[in-house]
């Protein structure tokens, strides 16, 4: 019986194709928006469980004394710690391009972030070169940078032009790592007269701990250590730290979340309208089916099966089309251009499963009212109506 219903899709091929296309567009949009959400929160989702972040208790943008790094290392349970300072420079040749550039202590940094991989010779070169920097493979590819190149960044926080040498290019073994960042020596910034305002200050500290299950206790222990100082700290797991950063843009993410659901609502209305038109046009035919013995539930099955077939077919095609569109075109573009926000822009398989299930469910929801109407048709009245 459902076979007959599905065959009905051939009755008005143009309308069916347009409805399937509408469902496809809705599904592609849904998958794209959900991928934006998952990519944006990837830093939190894929954060290392054995890392704790420490920042100024008042705000992210306020600095702490450099000596805090060593004091954090001394806290029981902390294996290693590294500081980081936001530099905020721009490449004058690519003024419009944003990428993170951060001053770090190279050895400590690579010890804490062991998912950042730098070839051994380039690593050694970086350690020895005071104005050396390592850059992610994505930004290196984008700007055509290679080891040995001289790169100038113009400071937006620290004045003037700063000359660097590319010591190495890093890759990442973890999805949360931004492959478009620029890391250079803390001392290069700290020893420069232009860095006087943050001399011996650090932006934040990231620690590696020995037991991920104790991250809350270790965070408390770190903060307790500085409780009586002029500058207190706020420590939390890397995941919580990333989430708190995401919290600053939570309103935007919420809007994206809502819009992705609104898209599905629009899809339901489109499918519902198509199905309702079909039911109206076939009133007489449904009357004939009822006359020859089909029950109201059979008519409901006809209508529902047709709607689910359209939605599911559109859902499958939309999902198939989403992969090349979202991953190969949009994803590649975003990773290369705004990797700081979208370090890993890939479709989560769960998003596809959700899209397919929702497409089928929406088919049922959209057809519920028309199916009910069809099942309630009066046989004699239906037979009187033509067209």
Partner 1 sequence: MSPDTSTQTAGTRAGSANGAIVSAKKVRKTYLRGKEELDVLQDLDLTIHEGAFEALMGPSGSGKSTLLNLIAGLDRPTSGTIEVAGVDVGALPERARAKWRAANIGFIFQTYNMMPVLTALENVELPLLLARLSGKERRERATTALEVVGLKERMQHYPRELSGGQEQRVAIARAIVTDPRLIVADEPTGDLDRKSADEILKLLERLNQEFNKTIIMVTHDPHAAERAKKVHHLDKGALL
Give contact residues for partner 1 (rule: CB under 8 A): 1, 4, 7-8, 10-11, 284-285, 288-295, 298, 379-380, 383, 386
Q: Output 58 or 380, the one with its CB closest to partner 1.
A: 380
CA dist 233 and 68 (Å) reads 10
Q: Output 277 or 379, the one with its CB closest to partner 1.
A: 379
Which residues does residue 164 pair with via DSSP β-bridges, in sequence order? 151
CB burial of residue 384 (10 Å; 0-12, 13-18, 19+): exposed
Taking the complex as a whole, the smallest distance from the CB of residue 299 to partner 1 amounts, in Å, to: 11
Taking the complex as a whole, the smallest distance from the CB of residue 350 to partner 1 amounts, in Å, to: 37
Taking the complex as a whole, the smallest distance from the CB of residue 293 to partner 1 amounts, in Å, to: 3
Q: Output 128 or 378, the one with its CB closest to partner 1.
A: 378
Q: Output 125 or 375, the one with its CB closest to partner 1.
A: 375
Taking the complex as a whole, the smallest distance from the CB of residue 305 to partner 1 amounts, in Å, to: 13
Taking the complex as a whole, the smallest distance from the CB of residue 42 to partner 1 amounts, in Å, to: 47
Beta strands in 5-131 (DSSP E): 51-56, 64-65, 78-86, 89-90, 101-104, 116-117
Give me the count of residues in the chain. Answer: 387
Is the distance from CB of 133 to CB of 166 less than 8 angstroms?
Answer: yes
Alpha-helical (H) ranges within the chain are 2-7, 13-40, 42-45, 67-73, 106-112, 120-128, 137-143, 186-190, 215-225, 238-247, 250-281, 283-291, 296-322, 332-337, 349-375, 379-384
Taking the complex as a whole, the smallest distance from the CB of residue 384 to partner 1 amounts, in Å, to: 9
Is the distance from CB of 112 to CB of 81 less than 8 angstroms?
Answer: yes
Q: What are phi and psi of 169, to 5 degrees?
A: -125, 125
Q: Output 251 or 292, the one with its CB closest to partner 1.
A: 292
Q: Output 3 or 193, the one with its CB closest to partner 1.
A: 3
């Amino acid at each position: 019986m459902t076979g007959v219903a599905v065959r009905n899709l051939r009755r008005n091929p143009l309308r069916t194709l347009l409805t399937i296309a509408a469902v496809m567009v809705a599904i592609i949009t849904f998958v794209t928006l959900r991928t934006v959400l998952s990519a944006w929160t990837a830093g939190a989702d894929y954060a290392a469980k054995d890392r704790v972040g420490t920042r100024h208790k008042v705000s992210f943008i306020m600095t702490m004394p450099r000596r805090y790094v060593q004091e954090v290392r001394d806290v029981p349970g902390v294996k290693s710690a590294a500081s980081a300072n936001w530099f905020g420079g721009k490449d004058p040749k690519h003024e419009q391009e944003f990428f993170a550039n951060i001053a770090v202590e190279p050895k400590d940094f690579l010890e804490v972030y062991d998912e950042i991989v730098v070839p051994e010779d380039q690593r050694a070169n970086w350690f020895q070169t005071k104005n050396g920097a390592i850059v992610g493979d994505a930004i290196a590819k984008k700007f055509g940078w290679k080891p040995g190149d001289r790169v100038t960044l113009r400071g937006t926080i620290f004045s003037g032009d700063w000359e660097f040498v590319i010591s190495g290019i890093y890759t990442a073994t973890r999805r949360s790592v931004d492959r478009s960042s620029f890391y250079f020596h803390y001392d290069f910034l700290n020893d420069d007269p232009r860095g006087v305002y943050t001399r011996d200050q650090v932006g934040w500290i990231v620690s590696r701990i020995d037991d991920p299950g104790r991250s809350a206790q270790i965070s408390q222990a770190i903060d307790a250590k500085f409780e009586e100082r002029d500058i207190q700290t706020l420590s939390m797991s890397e995941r919580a730290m990333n989430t708190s950063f995401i919290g600053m843009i939570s309103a935007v993410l919420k809007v994206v979340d809502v819009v992705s659901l609104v898209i599905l609502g629009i899809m339901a209305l489109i499918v519902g309208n198509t199905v309702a038109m079909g039911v109206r046009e076939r009133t007489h035919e449904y009357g004939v089916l009822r006359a020859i013995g089909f029950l109201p539930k059979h008519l409901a099955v006809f209508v529902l099966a047709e709607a689910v077939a359209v939605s599911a077919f559109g859902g499958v095609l939309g999902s198939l089309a989403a992969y090349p569109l979202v991953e190969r075109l949009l994803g590649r573009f975003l990773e290369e251009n705004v990797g700081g926000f979208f370090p890993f822009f890939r479709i989560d398989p769960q998003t596809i499963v959700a899209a397919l299930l929702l497409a089928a469910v929406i088919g049922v929801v959209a057809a519920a009212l028309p199916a009910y109407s069809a099942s309630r048709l009066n046989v004699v009245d239906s037979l009187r109506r033509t067209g």
